[in-house]
Structure 1
């Protein structure tokens, strides 16, 4: 018998039969056979009404099973229903991609019915459905349907909306283009997610709705599903299950509504509802995600939510990410153009701060032409062969919002590793700690080599590829220390040398930016330009002056690219050791001695291995193993540091030591601005040691006697020199853990220095002491001739006979007579080493007419040339161009101490002169005239002839040229005193006391003096010296100057001065009869008569020239007489004599 074909399976009858079914209902629909088993969606059904029914049926079917499992179609429909609901719930998070469109059943249906023929038909169909299925689908209570429109910028479309039967429905279209992940679930994918595997708050929304009045009746299929889902949740998430309750009873409606706002379409007060039930939205509270295991572990960041740090290929799926655990397949972009605190989490709709590779790593890594000095700077752990090129840290400043430089240097948690690969590429890996115990995220970037300067490679951040760039520059930091003291005012000099001179890199613009521990950029660094480069030659240099602020790292900015320098500052607290410094700021040389509570013996200032003041970014070993810096020829990076700042080390064992030439180097500073020592100016440590190009630098000597009244720039130069010295002292104390504020300082001045000039210097010393040392103590000044005695008095006794202390400098000679260890008489005069080696009364220089230069210049230059000292020869040429004889001859004298020369040949100018018979008369006249003048004063003051004469000051080295034997000098002095006193010497005799380093004696004596640095200089020594000060006019009538005598009427004394000097010259040459100059000094006596005539020549003219120069220094002709006139004619005579001897 044939089978009857029906849509359902509710009959087994054959042939014709009658049925009592008058309409299709739920039973008939459920009985329809699906040959595909629910794997393919039905087609050719009206929409959206059929979609409402399909979704409701899917819920019904799944709810039949305790595990909510069913056909693929049913699981997809239910999963997509929940996906649509979750999009509504997270609308605010996705508002840039979602739009809610309201379809009003009453108004919009009327519009359709009023429309064209097609619209009208559609409206009538809708109206029919709404009427016929009103009870079945709740159409009678339906007011609006809210449609979701999705647009990700690539593809867009309607994806679903609200349903009166299941709350939500999805579009039947392919929705796989929706690339959204909420929690750990990918929406609209091939993996279907039941409710109990979804976001906690989203689940609570459903159970909240389920508790609302009549919801269970209106949405029975949903309620049935929720009941079974809650049972499954007990196993899936028992904590959440307990929060909801066995039947949802723990969901408090009022509390829920307080926590979750009503959802609007984006139009104010247009709320989204289904059958009068207001839909709620997830309140955007990023802090809800702050318990993620990927939160960066930072104790520093305090500015908001702590971000996550994320990387692709992170394998640990046990770590909580956002709403679930991490998916190892999750792709994390290595860059994101959005601010990191406004980004959506990868794979999620949540906006929560997160960081990726490009937030911490720069697109370029800067390669240097030398290895980094790893003792002083963090090098990223890069350890290549000796001399290998190092790198700046390719870290962005944002990294230090979360970590300090010490975290990176210690490397225990956060760490960076730099590894070179084949072909010059570099891999950088940055390890970052996260909250998950023992876990780290690694930001890794490959930097590709870029060998072409004409078309350099560009970074490709999408592929996470950076670029290696090589720059030629150097950075030096002074002092290399950080003081851990509240309110401590730091004072840094940072020296930058840009040696990029290739035509393609010449325009590179270098800039240094400084950041403190709080990662705040310091903005008040003064920038001082020192040098300028040209294409293929030279270097540009500048010094950054950073005062009263500490910095933690430096960003080097080069034409838009950046790299970081991270100093490994030693951080120390000030100790309790009290240092005392004595500074002899001399005409020719400056010397510094120091002692301290812990080390009371005076020592010369030095910078040793243990207290190096300056840190070079380049490894100092390159000075020895490869000065070409890997063939780059960027030697300016090495050479400009000692030229423009200081050498790395100073001391007897090193290239530079104190006493140091009193010379200042400058590069046309802007004198109308605030100027700084060790920035606009620096101590000329390389003067007389290296070639100093005169087109770049200006060297200033004779600072002590510069006319600051006529030349305002001279005042700033003097202060620049003193400030530079004070910086060295300050750094010395700090690096040796002394107490800076308790540091004591004494400086010296010649008694012949006018009070106005003395006050000028005192103001500068006090100003810089207060600025760089402190205010608890004060610097004190002591006459140059007083201090040496306090060093010599360990052996020199003055209880019976007086002792004479003679301090011979470059410009002045100071004399003090001591009795019973107390100074009783003092005098001072501008007759010192420069009287021999200077230019006489020629102020503009006359080196071409200097006898010593004329005789020895060729010989010395030949030695330099023969031994390959071309640099020194060029240095000499620059000095000679200035035509200052004292500078030229100081250069000759310096060669003996030049370490570079000593290793190959000895050039001892002192010894050359000591062997020169012809010039002996010059030194003999100089020495004897000083003894003669002192003997005259002492006799007039009624003093006994001295038991000792002590010598100090660099100028006293002249005595060794005359005779290395102190006994010979003593015999000569004895004869002079006997002639003046017209009696034989006392039985104890006379002894000359001097030492090999006479410049140091003044400072050593100053350190031994008992001085009170706790109160302002009362002028005690000024008063004492003023009382002791004795000025012998130097006239034939042996007249002493009174306090009332002024320069106004001094001209009338000129004839008697000439007469007195003639008396001296006669006495000098008469001594040869009793004290053979030939035998005692190996002097050429064959020309003795000619020497005498030369000394006597132009005597009156010389007196008047000396007086004119002196008067030019005065404020008024009514100023009191400051020094004897006796030596004026001898200054001109000795200069003339030396020149004539060489003819």
Structure 2
């Protein structure tokens, strides 16, 4: 059936309607297994003329399905998302719960003398499925910037990215007619040209619903994906959001330049993970709930259509350490509630969580991966997982976990707009790239990518969001390559790396832990290390890391000290979680060692007794402020002046600095940056006698590095752009 197929009204005659209908998921269990059906989501795209919109009525067993009432377990719920507009079809979404449906009735208004609407029937040719023998394990790494989903089966235990790559498992079935199979790759066969007179129905599907394919050649999306939602303009005000009718995963964000400049059609929302505090708590929780529900629906869909047993499917989610207790409880409750909603029963042992610090290490030490770490009782190991918002660290004394750390000093410090949350697009590294490439000729493929980035820039998206797009299009737009030439700006990247390694060294000293033989990095935020070190083997950063660890800990590093960065850093956490669950899910590893918080002052200035975090009131005292800043200043001085070995290696990183300028500029910004961090804690509800959830050491750097990057751009490059 085509999108513009004729319909016959009850009173005779013929009408044409420009409509399309999409159904997700497109399978049905029968008999005793029918309990695993649903929920189903149906999209109605309407590109007719006139005021009134078409609508759908659902039938099962010859009876119309009722409207779903609050607290009900069977029926249909509907919500219009987009009204008539000149930019594309109107859209309405339906949720069918508690049952499948045998057919649906399309009801569309007609012009002229007919008072009754025209109606027609659509009968889905369901894929009938039965529980299979294959057992699936999935892991979800829900990050600040990106989300990755990995899976494995009993027959194929190696973790692999989630993908939808065949017609049988196509996620959403619509009324479009696929193009010839011999002429196009699979996603293109079901792309805009397959929709006849409604090519924009493809955009609506990708923006508001679910993509047909994921992770194969020609597909618009592949994991890892941006951690973002796409929301209707009324999402917050309307209340009781409907998945797809109000909000959905923003799969199309990196392709949808049009929406950046048309907020009346909706918006993409990022920074979901840390947006559950303060005045937006309720909306923040609903965003996370919708995101997780859709992921679980995709997981169930893949299992059902690939001879899997949905009742035996296991899911592991990565547990963040540095969240407040309330936010962490929100995540736990959402995962358990949504698992039960999607899979129809309490999760029991099928749903588990694993610390974000543990999971990457399990991947790095698996003999089938490229981590290359062989655990030994004689060698200490540190894994540093840098995300967008947090860095999580695991220290091991030999094979035994020693401590975990978590702090808000990660990718957004490099690519964001500073700790004060001021004007957007002020990042010096972003300034540099935009100034260098604004008029640079590019290929046709790169031109399409650049238009999306330009739309984001024009809409005043945050620096972090624009940079995320640039990393996504790195192959086409060469963001990493351009920044390798930013000789005077690259000190910002080096100082970020140095601060993380320095703090790890001080933790080793506090724990009486010898300098580790293995310094390992994972997480999407760690990819800047390959941008910083021009040596593919990271030899220069290895030597600098060794020098900083020795300086911070007061101990010599092993002669065979190694730095390891996995080839796909973002995938390490989810892959490690899959391997852990496949191996039986060791309960001791799930608990992980206790989190350790070093105060952040110089070791000689630390209070007597075991190290512990300061309270907010203590941290705001002049004495503690001065001691924290002295510790930060000590590191900066070591990099800019005191270490002849490091200064001798800067040229290998293509880093050039004026030591006095960098040191003096940062020295003037450290205190304001520290105080901005403390103010943000108060604003988020931290009480004066609450112990801080993380070290104070990074607070002086959070805004100071941003300010340094902006100042270095003005000092060395701004005049070149005029």
**Separation in structure 2 between the aligned mates of residue 655 and residue 1111 of structure 1, nearest angstrom:** 42
Residue 638 (1) aligns with residue 202 (2): yes
Q: What TM-score do the two structures reach when normalised by structure 1? A: 0.56
Alignment of 1:344-743 (within 5 A): 368-369=3-4, 459=12, 467-484=13-30, 485-500=33-48, 505-523=49-67, 524-534=75-85, 536-559=86-109, 560-609=117-166, 610-621=168-179, 627=192, 632=197, 634-653=198-217, 654-667=219-232, 668-669=234-235, 673-691=239-257, 692=259, 693-711=262-280, 712-743=282-313
Q: What TM-score do the two structures reach when normalised by structure 2? A: 0.87
Residue 1033 of structure 1 is matched in structure 2 by 600
Report how far residue 748 of structure 1 moved. 1.2
Alignment of 1:150-189 (within 5 A): none
Residue 1092 of structure 1 is matched in structure 2 by 663
Q: What's the CA shift string for 1:608-640, capped at 9, x where partnerless?
A: 1142111111123296599467874x3221210
Report how far residue 544 of structure 1 moved. 0.6
Residue 369 of structure 2 is matched in structure 1 by none
Q: 1:733 and 1:1034, CA in 2 relative to 1: closer, same or farther beyond 3 A?
A: farther
Q: 1:676 and 1:821, CA in 2 relative to 1: closer, same or farther beyond 3 A?
A: farther
SS in 1 for 2:413: helix
**Separation in structure 1 between the aligned mates of residue 155 and residue 590 of structure 2, nearest angstrom:** 31
Residue 972 of structure 1 is matched in structure 2 by 544
**Separation in structure 1 between the aligned mates of residue 189 and residue 440 of structure 2, nearest angstrom:** 25
Report how far residue 716 of structure 1 moved. 1.2
Residue 113 of structure 2 is matched in structure 1 by none
**Separation in structure 2 between the aligned mates of residue 776 and residue 871 of structure 1, nearest angstrom:** 41
Q: 1:682 and 1:1058, CA in 2 relative to 1: closer, same or farther beyond 3 A?
A: same
Residue 1116 of structure 1 is matched in structure 2 by 687
Residue 1125 of structure 1 is matched in structure 2 by 696
Q: Could you tell me whether the CA contact under 8 Å between 1:743 and 1:777 is conserved in 2?
A: no
Q: 1:704 and 1:1013, CA in 2 relative to 1: closer, same or farther beyond 3 A?
A: farther
**Separation in structure 2 between the aligned mates of residue 566 and residue 1129 of structure 1, nearest angstrom:** 63
**Separation in structure 1 between the aligned mates of residue 301 and residue 641 of structure 2, nearest angstrom:** 56
Q: Could you tell me whether the CA contact under 8 Å between 1:607 and 1:650 is conserved in 2?
A: yes
Report how far residue 537 of structure 1 moved. 4.3
**Separation in structure 2 between the aligned mates of residue 729 and residue 863 of structure 1, nearest angstrom:** 42
**Separation in structure 1 between the aligned mates of residue 277 and residue 309 of structure 2, nearest angstrom:** 34
Report how far residue 1056 of structure 1 moved. 0.5
Report how far residue 495 of structure 1 moved. 0.8
Q: What's the CA shift string for 1:672-722, capped at 9, x where partnerless?
A: 543233332111111122222322112210000114442122221221112
Q: 1:513 and 1:593, CA in 2 relative to 1: closer, same or farther beyond 3 A?
A: same
SS in 1 for 2:689: coil
1:766 to 336, 343, 351: 336
Q: What's the CA shift string for 1:458-500, capped at 9, x where partnerless?
A: 83xxxxxxx3322111111100111121433411110111111
Report how far residue 842 of structure 1 moved. 2.5
**Separation in structure 1 between the aligned mates of residue 399 and residue 578 of structure 2, nearest angstrom:** 16
Q: Could you tell me whether the CA contact under 8 Å between 2:616 and 2:691 is conserved in 1?
A: yes
Q: CA RMSD in A?
A: 2.7
SS in 2 for 1:514: strand
Q: 1:671 and 1:865, CA in 2 relative to 1: closer, same or farther beyond 3 A?
A: farther
1:787 to 351, 356, 359: 359
Report how far residue 1094 of structure 1 moved. 2.2
Report how far residue 948 of structure 1 moved. 0.6
Residue 990 of structure 1 is matched in structure 2 by 561
Residue 185 of structure 2 is matched in structure 1 by none
Residue 314 of structure 2 is matched in structure 1 by 744
**Separation in structure 2 between the aligned mates of residue 851 and residue 1004 of structure 1, nearest angstrom:** 34
SS in 2 for 1:611: coil
**Separation in structure 1 between the aligned mates of residue 442 and residue 514 of structure 2, nearest angstrom:** 54
**Separation in structure 1 between the aligned mates of residue 436 and residue 177 of structure 2, nearest angstrom:** 39
SS in 2 for 1:641: helix
Residue 1003 of structure 1 is matched in structure 2 by 574
Residue 174 of structure 1 is matched in structure 2 by none
Report how far residue 649 of structure 1 moved. 0.6
Structure 1's consecutive aligned runs of 4 or more residues displaced over 6 angstroms after TM superposition are 628-631, 1011-1014
Q: Could you tell me whether the CA contact under 8 Å between 2:139 and 2:315 is conserved in 1?
A: yes
Relative contact order (C-alpha < 8 Å, sep 6+): which is higher? 2
Report how far residue 1049 of structure 1 moved. 2.1
Q: What's the CA shift string for 1:380-433, capped at 9, x where partnerless?
A: xxxxxxxxxx567x699xxxxxxxxxxxxxxxxxxxxxxxxxxxxxxxxxxxxx
**Separation in structure 2 between the aligned mates of residue 783 and residue 566 of structure 1, nearest angstrom:** 46
**Matched residue pairs, number?**
668
Q: Could you tell me whether the CA contact under 8 Å between 2:599 and 2:613 is conserved in 1?
A: no
Q: 1:862 and 1:849, CA in 2 relative to 1: closer, same or farther beyond 3 A?
A: same
Report how far residue 669 of structure 1 moved. 2.5
Q: 1:673 and 1:1013, CA in 2 relative to 1: closer, same or farther beyond 3 A?
A: farther
Residue 801 (1) aligns with residue 379 (2): yes
Moved more, 677-686 or 951-960: 677-686
Structure showing greater Rg: 1
**Separation in structure 1 between the aligned mates of residue 81 and residue 100 of structure 2, nearest angstrom:** 24
**Separation in structure 2 between the aligned mates of residue 530 and residue 861 of structure 1, nearest angstrom:** 36
Residue 919 (1) aligns with residue 489 (2): yes
Q: 1:753 and 1:1101, CA in 2 relative to 1: closer, same or farther beyond 3 A?
A: same
Q: Could you tell me whether the CA contact under 8 Å between 2:355 and 2:592 is conserved in 1?
A: no
Gaps of 5+ in 1: 1-365, 370-389, 397-457, 460-466, 898-905
Q: 1:548 and 1:1137, CA in 2 relative to 1: closer, same or farther beyond 3 A?
A: same
Q: What's the CA shift string for 1:105-126, capped at 9, x where partnerless?
A: xxxxxxxxxxxxxxxxxxxxxx
Report how far residue 877 of structure 1 moved. 2.5
Residue 142 of structure 1 is matched in structure 2 by none
Residue 625 of structure 2 is matched in structure 1 by 1054
Residue 754 of structure 1 is matched in structure 2 by 324
Report how far residue 1121 of structure 1 moved. 2.0
Report how far residue 1045 of structure 1 moved. 4.4
Q: Could you tell me whether the CA contact under 8 Å between 1:864 and 1:873 is conserved in 2?
A: no
Q: 1:803 and 1:752, CA in 2 relative to 1: closer, same or farther beyond 3 A?
A: same
Report how far residue 1102 of structure 1 moved. 1.1
